[in-house]
Structure 1
Amino acid sequence: MESSSSEHTTQQPLLQPQLPNTNPETTSDLENTLSDDNLTLFRRMRKATWIESKILFRLATPTVIVYMINYLMSMSTQIFSGHLGNLELAAASLGNTGIQIFTYGLLLGMGSAVETLCGQAFGAQKYDMLGIYLQRSAVLLTITGILLTLIYVFSEPILLFLGESPEISSAAAVFVYGLIPQIFAYALNFPIQKFLQAQSIVVPSACISTATLAVHLLLTWVAVYKIGLGLLGASLVLSLSWWIVVIAQFVYIVRSDKCRSTWNGFSVQAFRGLPEFFKLSAASAVMLCLETWYFQILVLLAGLLENPELALDSLSICMTISGWVFMISVGFNAAASVRVGNELGAGHPKSAAFAVVIVTAYSFIISVAAAVTVMLLRHVISYGFTDGEAVAEAVSNLSPLLAASLILNGIQPVLSDVAVGCGWQAFVAYVNVGCYYVVGIPLGYLLGFYFKLGAKGIWSGMIGGTAMQTLILIWVTFRTDWKKEVDEARKRLDKWEDKKEPVLQ
């Protein structure tokens, strides 16, 4: 994490003739309240909390809906597959968590570069650059997607090479083939999503996702049970649903007045400066991939245990529930990144720091409530996925670890997205390498295989790595000099701002 050593100066962003979606509370009221020495500390904090809470929930609530519904599409596909049989559930779980999450993590991570640049550019009112960042990211992610297609095509030999069961690997490969179109939907969706979030435009995405979920459930039911397409049909419908979301969001951007200042059409600038843009995208990708692959490795290791079908079924159910609850944190994460990026771009260090505290507090409270709910329902939650009693008992035994993961997920992802808002991706990547791959995975392997604790041991060790990473992020965030981060944001925007080029006709 780099810090500027230059003296902090106040610089007002240039006014544009049209201010899209600018919230007065975001740009001035919170900073003024936090700087008002005429108020007592208690009154200042109370007023600031009220202002930030309104801003946060206006942004976070629709964002949570978007992420939860998008995740529910994958979750429902897994549930439909699970009711075909335990083999199909294990195959869909391995295909989703072992192959698909690799692509998801890589492309979402690369798309986070848009989150940093668009969030800070919007706060600084450099609106014309948002559309350029969107297009550059889409170009890079599409090129990456072409390369990732090879992993999907050769998924069966890859899974066999990793030591997975031949029967499960063969079925998982069939499921994965249907997810190939989803790769390119991801490549366009993530930049579009970050582009809209940076402007606090999230309600349209929530409406689009909600409508798409209804279509997805109907089409999956028809494909799996009425037409009898099985695993391949389930995954093809999932890919189609993601494309519906992408197309609908892009139509909104092109036709909406709210994006008039930030989307000026296709530009040749999208193909300029790609190597430098790739460096920031790569740092973002490494940071997020190290997190998503961490839990992917948990599932892959479980496939090497005795009775891998039971281990995969129970762990995949826990991971699915964790992922669903995690979407709440992800919604708050995205809000945190937007809030921090906007405030740094606008030159408001106190507001950026205060936004971190508030969003972390809310996300932690919600995650604790979710953990308590999981413990209360631990004996029955598996029956929504499969009817097996052995799986239900295994899930019940893993529930305390699931609850612990949920609590950690209420803090760690929020702080990771604060890092995205500040542009600290490279620093967090180093932290992730140490905590996850030097500590967590070796410890999980030791507990799971050497001490014969099975899935419980693997997961326990990996939770230790997550806990260590969370503590480091808390410490670093606590020690951050937010005035210097404002200077860094200004330097970053000055570096990435381009001269206007003609729009492609």
Structure 2
Amino acid sequence: MALLCILPLFVRLLGMGEQFATLAGEYAIAILPVTAARGVCEVLQAWLACQKITKPPLYINLALTPFHAAVCYSLVFNTRLGFLGAGCANSAMWIARAATLYMHCISPHADLDRPFGGLTRRGLRDGRGELLRLVLPGVLMSDYWTGEAIMVCTGLVPNPAVALSALSVYTSTLKMIYDVPNGVRSGVTVCVGRALGAGLPSLASLAIRNGRLLLGCWLPLPLFAVCAFTSGWARIFTRDEAVILQLHALVPWLVVNSCAGGLMAIANAVMAGCKRLPPSWRSSASLALASLWGCSSASALG
């Protein structure tokens, strides 16, 4: 959230122009609540998933999808906010999602194995060490660092509008494809953890195999569609031929990234279910941070 607040200054330092910096700052303020609300949602969904409770979050997400679309359309086209309305609608949707999930978790009518006492200082204090031990390596090794660095550096290329448009479509498609591996990762993590906790390693192995099978069935479908109908996929988002040409060049990287993401999803699920960190996480984290500007920035500018 602090980065969003200083985004205009950061944009100016990159030399992207005063007008662009002003618009970026206004949009950053519009989406400021998203970070906190999304964090609450991730925590609550993981807590529910550990108890094999997945339907309430699903129903909440399904109910809020038309709400988000209606609010976004109304704010963008029926108010003076313009594109800022999309950011405000996104914030409203995530706040509503977090509030609804939280109310469900503290409801006495929720069918929970363990009651949820709410977010308390004691809970944060007692579990802080274990949480940081498990979370920090994932934060340091997250591909979001390199991905966002590339997005920032595209503002410095000769034709930033084309590059930013192409990367925006690329990342949106990649995230959509990864939604299924992300769900599989959560499911495998819970199943492996519960199976090992019950002393049933065979069930843990079965969960891992089923996770791989699900990803093996899912990933070829969107990737084949993107490869076979690249122009059609690109024209869903834009009519700019320069952007479409860039998207054609990005398709092989989309395939590689999606497949690697699927493999990493299963690997991360297994390690999380076993409450283990990869032996080389320190060196991996250092490599990720070193490559943040060394590799990703060079790739973007090249």
Residues 381-400 of structure 1: pairs in structure 2 closer than 5 A: 381-400=233-252
Structure-1-length-normalised TM-score: 0.55
| C-alpha displacement of 1:438 | 4.5
Indicate the SS of the match to 1:379.
helix
Q: Secondary structure at the match of 1:411?
A: helix
Confirm or deny: 8 A CA contact 1:179 1:238 kept in the other structure. Answer: yes
Structure 2 counterpart of 1:420, one-letter code: A
Q: Using the alignment, how far apart are the partners of 1:445 and 1:151 within structure 2?
A: 19
Q: How does 1:3-42 map to 2 (within 5 A)?
A: none
Query: Partners of 1:413 and 1:389 in 2: how far apart?
Result: 34
The equivalent position to 2:133 in structure 1, one of 283, 288, 304, is 283
Separation (CA, whole Å) in 1 of partners of 2:172 and 2:116: 40
Instruction: Find 2:109's aligned residue among 235, 256, 259.
Output: 256
Q: 1:317·1:385 contact (CA, 8 Å) conserved in 2?
A: yes
Counterpart mapping for 1:321-340 below 5 A? 321-340=173-192
Higher relative contact order (CA 8 A, sep 6+): 1
Evaluate the alpha carbon distance shift between residue 328 and residue 308 of structure 1 in structure 2; reply closer, same or farther with a 3 A threshold.
same
Residue type at the aligned position of 1:200: K
Please give the alpha-carbon distance, in whole angstroms, between the structure 2 residues aligned to 1:398 and 1:266: 44
Name the counterpart of 2:61.
Answer: 209
The alpha-carbon distance between structure 1 residues 428 and 333, as it changes in their structure 2 partners (threshold 3 A), is: farther
How far apart, in 1, do the equivalents of 2:21 and 2:279 lie?
Answer: 36
Alignment-mate amino acid for residue 293 of structure 1: W
Contact 2:147 2:296 in 1 (8 A): no
Q: Take 1:428 and 1:237, find their aligned partners in 2: how far apart are those partners? A: 41
| Contact 2:212/2:266 (8 A) holds in 1 | yes
Residue of structure 1 in register with 2:163 after alignment: 311
Identity rate, percent: 20
Where 1:189 maps in the other structure, the secondary structure is helix
| Amino acid corresponding to residue 258 of structure 1 in structure 2 | D
* 2:40 alignment partner AA: L
Question: Once the two structures are superposed, what CA deviation does each residue of 1:139-169 show, in whole Å capped at 9, x if it has no partner?
Answer: xxxxxxxxx3x32222110233345454433
| 1-structure distance, mates of 2:219, 2:195 | 26
Residues 264 and 214 (structure 1), Cα distance of their counterparts in 2 relative to 1, 3 Å cut: closer
Instruction: State the distance in 1 between where 2:147 and 2:14 align.
Output: 16
Distance 1:172 1:440, change over 3 A: closer
SS at match of 1:256: coil
Matches within 5 A, 1:113-262: 148=1, 150-162=2-14, 164-253=16-105, 254-259=107-112, 261-262=113-114
Change (3 A) 1:417 1:170: farther
Range that drifts further, 156-165 or 398-407: 156-165
C-alpha contact (below 8 Å) 1:370/1:406 kept by paired residues = no
Instruction: Give deviations 1:72-130, integer Å, cap 9, x for gaps.
Output: xxxxxxxxxxxxxxxxxxxxxxxxxxxxxxxxxxxxxxxxxxxxxxxxxxxxxxxxxxx
Matched to 2:34, the amino acid is Q
Q: Is the 8 A contact 1:364 1:407 kept in 2?
A: no
Correspondence for 2:150? 298
Q: Which amino acid aligns with 1:283?
A: R
Match of 2:224 in 1: 372
- Structure 2 vs 1, CA of residues 266 and 196 (structure 1 numbering), >3 Å: closer, same or farther? closer
- Structure 1, unaligned stretches of length 5 or more? 1-147, 455-505
C-alpha spacing 1:151/1:201, structure 2 compared with 1 (3 Å): same
Counterparts of 2:262 and 2:19 in 1: how far apart (Å)?
Answer: 37
**TM-aligned CA deviation for residue 431 of structure 1:** 5.3
Q: Which amino acid aligns with 2:236?
A: G
Give the partner amino acid of 1:383: R
Could you tell me which residue of structure 1 aligns to residue 122 of structure 2? 272
1:409 aligns with 2:235: no
Task: Quote the offset at 1:333 in angstroms.
Answer: 0.8
Structure 2 length-normalised TM: 0.88
2: CA distance, partners of 1:445 / 1:187: 28
Contact 1:416–1:428 (Cα < 8 Å) also in 2:
no
Shift in Å, 1:247: 2.0
Structure 1 distance, partners of 2:285, 2:16, is: 25
Per the alignment, do residues 445 and 247 of structure 1 end up closer, same or farther by CA in structure 2, a change over 3 Å counting?
closer
Q: What is the CA deviation profile of residues 455-504 of structure 1, one whole-angstrom value per residue up to 9, with x for unaligned ones?
A: xxxxxxxxxxxxxxxxxxxxxxxxxxxxxxxxxxxxxxxxxxxxxxxxxx
Cα drift, residue 250 of structure 1: 2.4
Alpha carbons of 1:420 and 1:162: their partners in 2 closer, same or farther (altered >3 Å)? farther
Given that residues 340 and 355 in structure 1 are in contact (C-alpha distance below 8 angstroms), is that contact kept between their aligned partners in structure 2?
A: yes
Residue 446 of structure 1 deviates from its aligned partner by: 4.8
Q: Once the two structures are superposed, what CA deviation does each residue of 1:5-35 show, in whole Å capped at 9, x if it has no partner?
A: xxxxxxxxxxxxxxxxxxxxxxxxxxxxxxx
On the 8 A contact 1:216/1:237 being kept in 2, the answer is yes
RMSD: 2.5
Q: CA deviation at 1:300?
A: 2.0
Equivalent-residue separation in structure 2 for 1:275 and 1:251 (angstroms): 23
Closer/same/farther in 2, CA of residues 225 and 321 from structure 1, 3 Å limit: same
Distance in 2 (CA, whole Å) between partners of 1:447 and 1:152 is 24
Contact 2:104/2:110, CA 8 A, preserved across alignment: no
Per the alignment, residue 423 of structure 1 pairs with 275
Distance 1:344 1:294, change over 3 A: farther
Aligned in 2, Cα 1:426/1:401: closer, same or farther, shift over 3 Å? closer
Q: Which runs of 5+ in 2 are unaligned?
A: none
